[in-house]
Amino acid sequence: QVQVVQSGAEVKKPGASVRVSCKPSAYTFSNYYIHWVRQAPGQRLEWMGIVRPNGGNTEYAQKFQGRVTMTRDTSTSTVHMELSGLRSEDTAVYFCAREEGETYYFDLWGQGTLVTVSS
């Protein structure tokens, strides 16, 4: 079954960092870009950035520049998103989602990872 599987829920203290992983399954890892989108409680979806498996180049939304790092590990076909300097407003469900080339839409999403930031 074609899917993307994310790592489990995390609870972090303010100021800490969190790393969320996303592993594609049953499709060719290198053929798709991976985006990260988050959804705070009751809020709209918010795009964070993109990582391209071939070459690993990234683009980040201006809001997250300096705080987010997206990487890919080709040996394990896994994509990681690390967000640092966590604050309570970062409490959200974080989704990875794939894009096939420059299509500008996300045709497959991970199940989401809840990150809770609380002291």
Binding positions for another protein, rule: CB under 8 A:
35, 37, 44-47, 49-50, 59, 61-62, 95, 97, 103-112
Residue 57 and residue 2: Cα distance in Å, rounded? 24
Residue 11 and residue 74: Cα distance in Å, rounded? 27
Beta strands 78-83 and 18-25, pairing class: antiparallel
Q: Which two tokens stand for residue 39?
A: 């959804």
| Closest distance to another protein from the beta carbon of 21 (Å) | 16
Which residue stretches of 15-97 are H helix? Answer: none
| Closest distance to another protein from the beta carbon of 54 (Å) | 20
Chain-centroid distance of CA 105 in Å reads: 15
CB nearer to another protein: pick between 75 and 105: 105
CB nearer to another protein: pick between 4 and 18: 4
| Closest distance to another protein from the beta carbon of 13 (Å) | 26
CB nearer to another protein: pick between 19 and 63: 63
